[in-house]
Structure formats: structure tokens, C-alpha cells
Structure 1
Amino acid sequence: MKPIYSSAAEAVGNIHDGATLMVGGFGLVGIPEQLILALVEKGVKDLTVISNNCGVDEWGLGLLLKKRQIKKIIASYVGENKEFERQVLAGEIEVELTPQGTLAEKIRAGGAGIPAFYTPAGVGTSIAEGKEIRTFHGKEYVLEEALHADFALIRAAKADKFGNLIYNKTAQNFNPMMAAAGAVTIAEVEELVEAGDLDPNTIHTPSIYVQGLLVAKQEKRIERLTTRTS
């Protein structure tokens, strides 16, 4: 059985200043909301965060940005956060922008034990500066190294007490691959069931990748609300 934390504060208790974190989610979908809030309250700083994006100004990773707890972020998209834009332009945060597919593969490779791979994405751009370029079948590819993290904070819809996880639709996004690439993976889940209650054919992340569980409800905020008149 996996440890089941009594609070988000307990779940992030071992996350220290200077840690490297992978944080699941795409926009505000599938983000570990309560774990992020606990990090804000804990006040850890100098974090390196690997995530598709950095939330919005008042929610998700944007809360860590607001309190200047992030030293560096490795991401593919940062366009929805004005505070992030301000910190980048002011030179207050280090940013490593990576093509989205490359970011996903760097994380997946880290979890699969693959140290590096070649990709055509970024060849001929600043992305490839300082990196090895090789030609395969007449086409150039850039060498990209895998990513790992001290901790992976992810969100799932359901877990059993062994730590097997099921995600809800698009909330899978980066969560399954990050679960495999974190040295310690903490899963924030909405529903916890007994071991053996999940159909093995429906499990997205096997328990071997999960080191702890937190049962917590989500606000599930909408990143950008679009309406139309009737």
C-alpha cells in the first residue's frame, strides 16, 4: 500500500529549496491544485519547474510565480500569464522554451531510461544552438537530452490504495509521463478505492511509479471563459 497523506502540507513536506519539480497539467486541466497551494504556503524557493505552461496569474503555478518561488521554468507555452511575461522581460526568472512535442518526449524518455534522442524540431533555430546536429537519411536532427525531476506532482481522477491511477479524459496530458520521470511521484486524486477495485485494463499509470497519494477535491477553474449571446 502507498502512503496516503492526511493533508497537502504533509504531501509536500519533503520538497526542499532548490528542488526540481515536474508539475502535470495543460493550461488548468489536470493540474495538482492542492499540492501547488501547499507549496505556496510552505514557501519553498529557488525551484526549477518542468511543466507545459505556468498556469494563469491567480491560479496554478502562477501562484508560485507571484511569490517568486520559481528560479527556472522549462516549458513549451507561457502566453497566458502576465506576471510570467513581466518576470522574463525583467530578467527575474530563467526560462527554457522547448517545442511541445520535444518537451513531452524529453519527459517520456526520462521515465523510460533513455538518456537522449534526435528530433527534427528546432533545427535551424535558437533551440538547436550548442546542441549536436546529425544527419539521417538526408535530414538534420538535433540531439535532445531526457528530463528528470526530484519530485513529480500529478493529478488523477481515481486511484486504488496500491497507487494505480486513472485519469479523466484530457487531464491525462503530461501526467502519465511525468509520473514515470519523477524520483518521487505524489498523486493528487479525487477518488480513492480499495486495492483490486480498478479494472487492470483501465489503469493509465501503474503503482510502481507512485510514491504517495493525496485525496483532494479540485476547483477546476476555467482558464479562458468564452460565451456567446443566444
Structure 2
Amino acid sequence: MLRQTVSAPSRALRSTARLGTQRSIARPHQLHHSQTPLITSARTLAPRIRWYSSETEASKDKNAPESSQNGEEAGKTEPESPEVALKKQLEAKDAEIRDLKDRYLRSVADFRNLQDRTQRDMKQARDFAIQSFAKDLVDSVDNFDRALTMVPEEKLKAKEASEEQQSEHLKDLVNLYEGLKMTETILLQTLKKHGLERFDPDGEVFNPNEHEATFMTPMPDKEHNTVFHVQQKGFKLNGRVLRPAKVGVVKNK
């Protein structure tokens, strides 16, 4: 609030104005002579108005701490209760436990995968440890097969004839053939125990994963893409192709 104060010269101005009015009424003929001094005095005695604040310094000082206290109270936060602090600690511990459990499960899974992979590698190492040895051995088996195929079947049938009709050289040939055949059979059985097997694809459909086509020829009496001739038999080591069979394939298209 502002309060208006009027100084002493303003009161003097009002009294002078009343006096001048009385004189002008009493003496009309003197109005012309007294008009200028009255205006001059009115200007010189114009009231000086000053505005002052109605609030005192004490009221300002009283309001200032309240505003500062409100700001301080707004800046301050209420202290957490023990229950809230304990709840936050429990949540942090639960998150840590979940993280540790996840790491533990991942470690166990990795260890089991490592065990399975190690066992698989060890099994493959055992199964194919003789791979280089088997490759060298199959050539000897091939020589047995070639030796047996060199004897014609007509001469082998001489065994069925009477002993009187058989010549000595035919008996020796038949005995040699049977001996070689028995040796080959025992050798193949021994190799089979260690995972090495021989396969003959004669009459089968051509399989590029197991067969190697050395030549192809049209044959109307046979189906297309079938094996009609085996030049060299193949070998497998524990199901894996050690050496593909060399074959001739029918091509009618």
C-alpha cells in the first residue's frame, strides 16, 4: 500500500487561494492587478506529492525467512524408512542371484557340450585311426580279388567231375583257388571287425557320393543311370567312404 502525503506548502496554497477569491469578490476592479501574482504563487506553491511504501522493513525481514524456508523445505527430501531401504536391498540381492544363476546354468551347459564334443572327437579318432593303414591294405585285398578272377569258371567246374577225369594240374588249380578264396574271406572278416568293409555296387543306381564313373555308355536293355560294370570295388571305414568304387554307368538319355 502506498500513502499520499501533502506537504505544508500545499496548505498554504489553499489558504492563499481562499484569500484571493475573497479579494476578487470584494474588489472586482482590482482583479486584473492581482491575477498574475496569484497564478505565480500557485505555481510556486504547487503541492509536492510523494509516494511511500506502507510495508516496513520489519515486515520485509519477516517475509524473507519464510520464502527461504519454503525453498529449503522443497529442496530437502524426506529420509527413507528402514522398510524401504531393506526392500531395495532385497531387490538388489534378488537381481544378483538371478544373474549368478544364469551364469551357472550357462557354464554347466557349456561344460556338457564340451564333454559331448570331446567324446565324439575321441570316438572319431578311434574309428578312423587306422584310416591310412586301411588305405594301404585295400590294395592287397584287390590283388586277392584279381587273382581269383583270373581262374575261369569252366575249369573250376572240373571238380564236379569224377576223379578219374580230372587231371593233376586242374586239381592243383582248384586247390589254389579255394585257398586264395578262404584267405580273402578271412581277411575281409578281420577287416570288418575293425570297421573296414568292401562293397560291390553292381546293378545299383549310380551314387556320386560312393561311386566314381570311369565311363558311360548307352544300353537299351538296362535302366538309365545304373551301374552295369564294376572296375574296382569300393571300401567303407565305419560308414565313411574310404575309397569310391570305380564303375561303368548306363546312359540312355
Q: What's the TM-score, normalizing by structure 2?
A: 0.17
Q: Which has the larger radius of gyration?
A: 2
Higher share of residues assigned strand: 1
Q: Which has the higher contact order (CA 8 A, sep 6+)?
A: 1
Q: What's the TM-score, normalizing by structure 1?
A: 0.18
